Amino acid sequence: MSKRIFTKEEVEALLQNRNVERCSEKSITYNKDFKLAAVKQYHEQGMTSREIFKQAGFNIDTIGRHQPKECLQRWKKSFQKKGLEGLEDTRGRLGRPKKEERNEAETIKWLEAEVAYLKAENDFLARLRAKRRE
């Protein structure tokens, strides 16, 4: 992610672009259709990343000189690996998986295993301290 911070005016201007899904002071989320079109224009028409972004109505000075190239590289790689699904915005949806619900027996079994592990760890540390004293 870029270290660039957008002003309120820049955020509002970026949100006016139809290729922007969301925008905050720290990041721009481009819509999936724009990402797909950009990858196709790059491969099929041989356009540069800057040309693609300029044609889409982005001010390169606002988003940053290197942003178009970095975005396009990331999108190409993702599109090659996962196809169209790779271009979807997954931020906030792939976080830590939910904890599995355990019944009482499973919880007891898990806690007993944890106690055994901690006892073994304490025993190891006690032996290590004893060796240092020697």
Identify the pLDDT of residue 92: 59
What are φ and ψ of residue 47, in 5° steps?
-75, 150
Q: What is the pLDDT of residues 94-116, one digit of tens each?
A: 556 666 778 899 999 999 999 99
d(CA 117, CA 110): 11
- Could you list the pLDDT tens digit for every one of the 134 residues in the chain? 557 899 999 999 999 999 999 999 999 999 999 999 999 999 899 999 999 999 999 999 999 899 999 999 999 998 888 888 888 876 655 556 666 778 899 999 999 999 999 999 999 999 999 998 87
- What pTM was estimated for this model as a whole? 0.63
